[in-house]
Chain A
Amino acid sequence: MAKKQSSLINMVLTLFVITTVAAVALGFVYYFTKEPIDNVKKEKLANALKEVLPEFDSITAKDKIPFEWDKKLDTVPVFKVSKGDTQVGTAVEVITHKGFGGDVKLLVGFDNDGRIFGYSVLEHKETAGLGSKMGTWFNDTARQSSYVKGRDLKDYKDGIKVSKDDKDGIDAITAATISSRAFCDALNKAYAVYVNTVGSCVSTDTLIIKDDLKCDTLTNVSTIRKTDENSIEVTFKEEGGQDNE
């Protein structure tokens, strides 16, 4: 068969036919892979939840909480899980923009006392072999100085951070300090969201307040505002009164 001439009508027709066929074919592939792709995502989240939380049999609440962090508004998915009728833990899904290679998405689980029960790295673009160790590094019982499970973030006044000293924070991943800092940032954000939504803001004296908190869970408190370094302002819902500590 002879090669087609490059006349205008031939060129337009050829391109039109090729793009149409390609579009239809891609539509089919998309249609058939949509369900498996969604399943993979769901399964991944379900596995991550199992990993970061105590044993549970139902997810009682799944909300997207609007939350401000570093002056940026974000919606943060929060999962509350229960075994039987009692709530056993809360998991918060956070994204930090401080990663070395881009955003890091972390799922952090807290038990009822507000201690970190576990974490799982959902998405990251950190350097392979360095920052990518994030998923196991902070989860290794052999390395207590960077082991995060069981830590209560209210013990850290300015939030947990990368530090050699156990009292101030956790030991960084070797040669991946930026990734480790991003990890700490994500933990702090997750904890702030946790405190905000679960309402363990009762112990206000040790609370880390990065921004104004809205406490919907306490019956009569509406917001806790940080006025300066050492004091906070609590606004009550019904009385409308103010309480300075």
Chain B
Amino acid sequence: MNNWKNFTKGFIKENPVLIMLLGCCPTLGTTTSAINGLSMGLATTFVLVCSNIVISLIKNLIPDKVRIPSYIVVIASFVTVIDLLMQAYLPGIYETLGLFIPLIVVNCIVLGRAEAFASKNGVWASCVDGLGMGLGYALALMILGAVREILGSLSIFGWQFIQADGILVFVLAPGAFFGLAYFIAVVRRFNK
């Protein structure tokens, strides 16, 4: 029951992007299309789950004063792992996202969950928390990406449904701000 709560809170109640406003930099940068947003979200989920598990395992072995550098080393290692794995097995997605993958290291969500949750809870709970937060993040990124793709290039998941040019601004960086702002507003309205 408690685990279920841990898992679902990442989707709406404590959604990293929409409620906690964490990790906005990659959110704005990678959501030019639905598939990019989804891939970035899943890559972050992988890192979150792995780092949460490892950090909850070693939390008692790390002296308090060096816990942040230790967490960052763990997180950076997993980011490098997924960077290499994507280069090797998902070259297509790596081409568009490659630039943003190393930035997962400094994504506040990952360190935030390590500090706020994994360093205080057990392995299983941390794993569930990482998965929930990660998937919530991926979902938010995918929806934002889809909205920008629909409005900006009149396509969805790469499938063009009208042969015309969309509203250009939504493909560019300002469109990310517009999209995210309205998205947050809507979620806040229904979350009350």
Contacts and interface: CB of A to CB of B under 8 A. Distances in A.
Contact of A125 (B80, B85, B99): B99
A18 B81 contact: no
A97 interface: no
Given A26-B77, A36-B88, A5 B63 contact: yes
Contact of B32 (A7, A15, A44, A128): A128
A10 B87 contact: no
Contacts of B95: 123
B153 interface: yes
Interface string B81-105: 1001101110100011001000000
Interface in B38-74: 58, 60-66, 69-70, 73-74
Given A3-B60, A14-B63, A129-B32, A26 B80 contact: yes
Contact of B87 (A11, A33, A123): A33
A121 B87 CA distance: 18
B63 A2 contact: no
Name the interface size band of chain B: 35 or more
Contact of B89 (A11, A36, A125, A128): A36
A100 B118 CA distance: 42
Interface of A: 1-7, 10-11, 14-15, 18-19, 22, 25-26, 29-30, 33, 36-37, 40, 44, 123, 125, 127-130, 174-175
15 contacts: A1-B60, A4-B62, A6-B64, A6-B66, A14-B61, A14-B63, A15-B66, A15-B69, A15-B73, A19-B73, A33-B84, A33-B87, A128-B96, A129-B166, A130-B171
Given A2-B60, A129-B166, 19 more contacts: A1-B60, A3-B63, A4-B61, A4-B62, A5-B63, A6-B65, A6-B66, A11-B65, A15-B69, A18-B74, A22-B73, A22-B76, A25-B81, A29-B80, A40-B88, A128-B36, A128-B96, A128-B171, A130-B172
